[in-house]
Amino acid sequence: MKPKLIQATIIAALGGLLFGFDTAVISGTTSWLESVFNLSSFWLGFTVASALIGTIIGAIIVGQPADKYGRRNILFVLAVFYFVSALGSAFAWNWVSFLFFRFLGGLGVGGASVVSPMYIAEISPAKYRGRLVAVTQFNIVLGILLAFFSNYVITGMDLGIMEWRWMFGVEIIPALFFFLLLFLNPLSPRWLIANNHNEEAKKVLEQCGTDTGNVEDEIHAIQTSLDIEHHSLEEPFYQKKYIRPILLAVAIAMFNQLSGINALMYYAPHIFKMAGAGTSSALLQTIAVGGTNLVLTTLALVVIDHFGRKKLMLIGSIGYIISLGTTAWAFYTYGTNFTAAGSIIVLASLLLFIASHAFGQGAVIWVFISEIFPNRVRARGQALGSFTHWFMAAVISWTFPMIAKISGGHIFAFYGICMILQLIWVIKVMPETKGISLEKIQKEFGIE
């Protein structure tokens, strides 16, 4: 694996670290936001979902700019969004201004969820692509853990009503580093070829490596895939020949959120308090969730190109079903009167849940979506998958506080039933893409 490839991957994946941090940091602030802005459970859900509304829009609109201006250049813009969002959220003067800056951060998250894995997929040879794209997911969960840990440290500093502002403000530092380090990264060779910059693409391929072992052959394969003379990059995306990758992307993205993963990411301390934990204990248990997520994501990153995408999804689906079923049982059994044993059962079940997610869906989703679309529509395909993911995330995060107030058992049972459906989809429908070049995947899907 070439040093330039590793360097470019790590820097691009910092978009994922900011994605994870921005997503999880609000979990430590929900109690403050409720009291400072006098929010009901409905409006708390909306406030948490405000960033996700930005994320949905960011995922929808980023595809065409990424095609027009290049993947790396759009990452610069997203870094600015992260920086301004962190600064603005920390200094928000009222609820509306807070919503605006969280929305802006959401645009950054949505854009990064499309562009970071797409960029890495396009600079990576097939034999390394799975683990390199999965670095984005590793950085997402590292960002989540850093957010949980940062929240815990800031809570221990006794900052009073300023506490929640500091939680959001610390994101300024990684956002600035991301922006500066992007100057070291090359442009995507596939984007360069699509825009007739073959000589520059040749240099990037020499630096990052090829599937064929020969740069000229690689350029020819990419040109054939793009088939620019016969297929305009502006051709309609929603047409019959792309129906298979479209349905696969929508399905994996929907199932990702129907597991309830973002309910746990946004409301982890709240869930542990529902299960009888105190404030400090709930924050520590949240760090345990983040740590488990990081360790299992690292393991998945190591094995994804050996085991394959489908096998990880099978293992993760079974783990989901067991953990969500147990959590639902605990809430039905203990209700609002949790014993110490009941609290431990919920903690253990949710640690199994996060381990299952990290080893399965979490590691696979962005790799899989970045692989299944042809070069000429990959940006739009990645945007569709990301839009679906974040739309469902907004629905889950907005509805969780309201439904959980009625019954914790009902909400976790629903997530468990959805994961049974995911298991059936993985067995019956999901193809394996391990070790296959992007251009060959296109041929196997019958796309000319």
Q: Would you say how long the chain is, in residues?
A: 448
User: For residues 212 and 409, which has the higher predicted lDDT (pLDDT)?
Assistant: 409
The CA distance from 83 to 105, in Å, is 8
Tens-place pLDDT, residues 140-152 = 888 888 988 888 8
pLDDT of residue 229: 41
User: For residues 422 and 128, which has the higher predicted lDDT (pLDDT)?
Assistant: 422
pLDDT of residue 234: 63
Find the mean pLDDT for residues 406-420: 91
User: For residues 333 and 34, which has the higher predicted lDDT (pLDDT)?
Assistant: 333
Find the mean pLDDT for residues 324-349: 88
Tens-place pLDDT, residues 67-94 = 888 888 999 999 999 999 999 999 988 9
Whether 225 has a pLDDT exceeding 70, the answer reads no
Tens-place pLDDT, residues 232-286 = 556 777 888 888 899 999 999 999 999 999 888 778 777 887 777 766 677 778 8
Whether 5 has a pLDDT exceeding 90, the answer reads no
**Domain 3-185+227-231+241-444 top-level CATH class:** mainly alpha
pLDDT of residue 210: 75
Percent of the chain with pLDDT over 70: 96
Please state, in angstroms and as integers, the Cα–Cα distance from residue 248 to each residue in 58, 104, 307, following that order: 21, 29, 20
User: For residues 372 and 325, which has the higher predicted lDDT (pLDDT)?
Assistant: 325
Of 315, 305, 442, nearest in space to 372 by CA? 442
| Type of residue found at 27 | S
Degrees to nearest 5, angle at CA 59 with 5 and 236? 95
Find the mean pLDDT for residues 37-46: 83
- Which residues contact residue 146 at a Cβ distance below 8 angstroms, ignoring those fewer than 6 apart? 17, 20, 21
Mean pLDDT over each residue of the chain, to the nearest integer: 85
- Any idea where the domains of the chain sit in the sequence? 3-185+227-231+241-444
User: For residues 370 and 249, which has the higher predicted lDDT (pLDDT)?
Assistant: 249
Find the mean pLDDT for residues 165-191: 91
pTM score of the predicted model: 0.75
Question: Do residues 169 and 87 touch, judged by C-beta distance below 8 A?
Answer: yes
Find the mean pLDDT for residues 421-441: 86
Confidence of residue 311 (pLDDT cuts 50, 70, 90): very high
340-359 and 309-334 are packed helices; what angle lies between their axes, rounded to 10 degrees? 160
pLDDT of residue 416: 96
| DSSP structural state of residue 185 | P
> Token pair for residue 111?
């854009």
Of 108, 118, 119, nearest in space to 78 by CA? 108
pLDDT of residue 86: 93
User: For residues 301 and 294, which has the higher predicted lDDT (pLDDT)?
Assistant: 294
Please state, in angstroms and as integers, the Cα–Cα distance from residue 51 to each residue in 24, 101, 102, 104, 375, following that order: 11, 8, 5, 7, 30
Q: How far apart are the first and last CA of the chain?
A: 31
